[in-house]
Amino acid sequence: MDIPVRYGDYIDWDQLPHLWCPGCGNGIALKGVALALAELNIPLHKLLLATGIGCSGRAGNYVSFHSFDGTHGRTLAFCTGINVTQPDLKIIAFLGDGDCGAIGGNHLLHAARRNLNITVIEINNFNYAMTGGQFSPTTPLSSITSTSRKGKAEYAMDTASLVAEAGANYVASTTVYHTSQLNNFIKEALLTRGFSFVEVMSSCPTYYGRYNHIGDGPEMMKWFKEKTLPRDKYEKLSLEEKQNYIERGKLVQRNREDFLTTYKKRRKK
């Protein structure tokens, strides 16, 4: 079997052009995955890209290795079974914020708590894009969406912090503007044994950008640049100031024994 050496080897070029809108961040995030895989030189037959349902869920169509679409929110339940029966497979779950924080929230927390060998890439575009731009748990307070025309009245869920508390070995958060940080975080996540999670705040100019008058792809990139702060700077802000920014950076990097290793030891006893 050929060992891929370029990021392009992980992409199924016959499936392009993709169907994401101009300025959408999904392609940048997927390229981040492909770049990390190429750098780590992981053979194609050792890989699985598991997706949920949504715009982000299309990613599986564009990779040259195994992929499947789970049902909305349940992808990590499928991944749990695959992880314990195919322990040598590198499982990357490419999931939307709806898939992670809303319908699939419980699966996410328990996959992290069990410390399964799965890498989750959360595409947080702050809305349910595929179904028309409704707000999701991660949509920031006051945002305009198709279901909060006067501004969202709820606070946003910080999925990365929840996953860190639940027990994941690696948790980080960044945006599609900060590409070198993004690529580095994905690489570190893939190198982690146990549960790893990278939140990728991603541009959706068609819904979130348009409804909130941020603009198209380039303006959304500028927005990510100005709106997000590294964790150390963010922590120094007052509670009121924090409402104006979103934090990014690494939350957790630790080496707790993963579920399968512990389970195998128990069985031997």
Ligand X SMILES: Cc1ncc(C[n+]2csc(CCOP(=O)(O)OP(=O)(O)O)c2C)c(N)n1
Which of 211, 105, 124 has the alpha carbon at shortest distance from 166? 105
Only segment of 90-98, 152-160, 213-221, 226-234 that touches ligand X (CB under 6 A): 90-98
- Does residue number 190 form part of the binding site for ligand SF4 (CB under 6 A)? no
Q: Which sign does the torsion angle of CA 130, 216, 230, 143 carry?
A: negative
Judged by CB under 6 A, the residue of 207, 211, 224, 259 near ligand SF4 is 207
Q: Which one of ligand X, ligand SF4, Mg ion, none interacts with residue 169, CB within 5 to 8 A by kind?
A: none
- Does residue number 94 form part of the binding site for ligand X (CB under 6 A)? no
Q: Which token pair is 214?
A: 């941020």
State how far the Cα of 76 lies from the Cα of 117, in Å rounded to an integer.
11
- Does residue number 206 form part of the binding site for ligand SF4 (CB under 6 A)? yes
At 51 the three-state DSSP class reads strand
Only segment of 54-62, 110-118, 142-150, 254-262 that touches ligand X (CB under 6 A): 54-62
Q: Which one of ligand X, ligand SF4, Mg ion, none interacts with residue 104, CB within 5 to 8 A by kind?
A: none
Residue nearer to ligand X on the CB measure, 56 or 169:
56
Paired strand residues for 47: 90
- Does residue number 20 form part of the binding site for ligand SF4 (CB under 6 A)? yes
State how far the Cα of 256 lies from the Cα of 251, in Å rounded to an integer.
15
What single string gives the DSSP state of each residue in 67-85? EEEPPTTTHHHHHHHHHHH
Using only the alpha carbons of the chain, give its radius of gyration.
18
Residues 113-132 that bind Mg ion (CB under 5 A): 125
Fill in the per-residue mask, 105 to 134: x = in contact with ligand X (CB under 6 A), - = not in contact: ------------------x-x-xxxxx---
Q: Which one of Mg ion, ligand SF4, ligand X, none interacts with residue 159, CB within 5 to 8 A by kind?
A: none
Q: Kindly report the length of the chain.
A: 269
- Does residue number 198 form part of the binding site for ligand SF4 (CB under 6 A)? no
State how far the Cα of 222 lies from the Cα of 203, in Å rounded to an integer.
11
Tell how strand 246-253 and strand 196-201 pair up: unpaired
Query: Count residues contacting ligand SF4 (CB under 6 A)?
Result: 11
What single string gives the DSSP state of each residue in 141-182? TT--BTTBTT---SPPP-HHHHHHHHT-SEEEEEESS-HHHH
In whole angstroms, the minimum distance from the beta carbon of 213 to ligand SF4 comes to 16
What single string gives the DSSP state of each residue in 210-224? HHTT--SHHHHHHHH
Judged by CB under 6 A, the residue of 55, 102, 176, 198 near ligand SF4 is 55
- Does residue number 202 form part of the binding site for Mg ion (CB under 5 A)? no
In whole angstroms, the minimum distance from the beta carbon of 68 to ligand SF4 comes to 20
In whole angstroms, the minimum distance from the beta carbon of 82 to ligand X comes to 20
Residues that bind ligand SF4 (CB under 6 A): 20-21, 24, 26, 55, 125, 129, 204-207
